[in-house]
Structure 1
Amino acid sequence: MLMKKGLLAATILTISCSTAAFAHEHHQNEACGATTLHGYMEDIKDEMRAMSSDIKSGDNQAAAARVETLIAHFEKSRDQVPYKLKAEKLEGADLKEQMSNYEKGIDKTIDVFKNLEVALKSDDLAEVKKWLGEIGAKRQQGHQAFKANC
């Protein structure tokens, strides 16, 4: 059991520390600047770390409560235009298509968090691990599609 918790903790730490969960914009270049979306992604990163700590300490109920905050941040992020789309100066149908893809990605990520919440509330470590892995996959997909290289 201790080995499984260690593996679960390592998975969580990798996901939460590797950057924010979706379409995060770096502060390294002033061209990217501080955006509202960047702020939401920073909040998500902080909540993911706190949730990771809750799970590592065995407090799945506290971790489940954090999921609601994470979902709220994603819902607010849904209405933002990722900096990459601004930098590419997309307009018209191209912008509409990319925004639709972005919104669908956010919606799918929210669904994954809802599934994680159920797993946390039922203390099902196998399902928690599964959904944390899916969060990592969604993060990677979002970054590949929408993260600007700044």
Structure 2
Amino acid sequence: MKKGLLSAAVLSITCSSTVFAHGSCDTELHGYMQNIKDEMRAMSSDVKSGDNQSAVKHVDSLISYFEKSRSETPHKFIHDDLKGAELKSQNAEYQKVVDGTIVVLKDLERALQSGDSSKVRELFGAMGEQRKLGHSSFKDC
């Protein structure tokens, strides 16, 4: 039963659109988000199969992509023609969400390394919340 719940949570996260803001525009951020989606799917597959060591490698890649995406500007900010203080404020919010996601991923990495499946499930839920926050705040296309 617990494996079924974990699988459902992982599937929910990976089948949804990417974890963060990206649009149909070809931007660096969009590319990172596509890579994040692929890494999330691979990681969830590894977790389902019980290969936590391989899953940890995917978490490392995810952290790297989020670190790279931190310096990018979401398309929504360009589309909404944000400038000055408003752009600065929204970029700070975007970076805060990215940083929060990186913290969750680092916690997930530790849980995978220790084999704490209960914590892994909890952190997959936290990743889903981060995805919702990112999409609702920064995704427009």
Which amino acid is the alignment partner of residue 3 of structure 2? K
Select the structure that is richer in helix: 2
Structure 2 residue 71 is matched with structure 1 residue 79: yes
Q: How large is the RMSD of aligned CA atoms in angstroms? A: 0.7
TM-score normalised by the chain length of structure 2: 0.98
Q: How does 1:109-148 map to 2 (within 5 A)?
A: 109-148=101-140
Helix, strand or coil: the match of 2:19? Answer: coil
2:37 matched residue in structure 1: 45
Following TM superposition, by how much is the alpha carbon of 1:24 offset from its aligned partner in structure 2, in angstroms?
A: 2.7
Deviation readout 1:16-73 (Å, 9 max, x if unpaired): 1101111132x3xxxxx21110000000000000001000101011101211100000
Return 5+ residue gaps in structure 1 as ranges: 28-32
Deviating 4+ runs (over 4 angstroms): none
Return 5+ residue gaps in structure 2 as ranges: none
C-alpha separation in 2, matches of 1:67 and 1:19? 18
TM-score normalised by the chain length of structure 1: 0.92
Helix, strand or coil: the match of 2:132? Answer: helix
Work out the percentage of aligned pairs sharing the same amino acid.
54
2:16 matched residue in structure 1: 18
1:99 matched residue in structure 2: 91
C-alpha separation in 1, matches of 2:72 and 2:43? 24
C-alpha separation in 1, matches of 2:22 and 2:49? 27
C-alpha separation in 2, matches of 1:122 and 1:16? 23
